[in-house]
Amino acid sequence: MNEGDQLRYGWIAGGKAAVPVPMLASERSDAPGGQFINMRTDGYAEFLDDTDSAECFGSAEVPYGTLSATSGQVVANAIIDVTAIFRIPSDTGTYAFTMLGDTCDVGVSTFVQGAYLSSSSNEQFIIVGGDTVNNNWVDVMINPASANRGQTNVA
């Protein structure tokens, strides 16, 4: 596949096993970013932020924008399949083919989740491809080693 053949963001390949999750109130994500979430101890899902070290539970399938002001009113389909591949924008750093198999963190710029390629401390994603021409996007999988399956994040 040529790099220009696949222009959409979000889930692009692999497994798509999913579960319903109640979303935290007033969460916001903007196009074309990812919608990766972690589960809080109060049972609500929230979008990953680059200011915390939260694990990645999955990717919420919800419309872009701000969600309901009431927690639990929006129940999202969350793709939790670690074989799923997602296309997200490059947030910080420059993608190079030598990054294949490396880990990276989520980066967030103005409510747009992307791949933080400059350094990796949380290692939420495994890099499986990217745009070597314009550095617009990176293909990632959820890193099973950092997947949140036990609601360890604080509310």
Give yes or no for a contact between 119 and 126, defined as CB atoms under 8 angstroms apart: no
Give yes or no for a contact between 17 and 81, defined as CB atoms under 8 angstroms apart: yes
So what's the pLDDT on residue 148?
57
Residues in the chain with pLDDT values less than 50: 1-4, 150-155
Half-sphere exposure of 123 (CA within 13 A, CB side): 8
pLDDT digits (tens, 9 = 90+) for 93-128: 999 999 999 999 999 998 999 999 987 788 899 999
So what's the pLDDT on residue 154?
46
For the full predicted model, state whether its pTM sits above 0.75: yes
Closest C-alpha to 78, from 59, 57, 55, 63:
59
So what's the pLDDT on residue 102?
95
Domain covering 10-146 in this structure, CATH number: 2.40.300
Torsion of CA 24, 77, 15, 135, to 10 degrees: -50
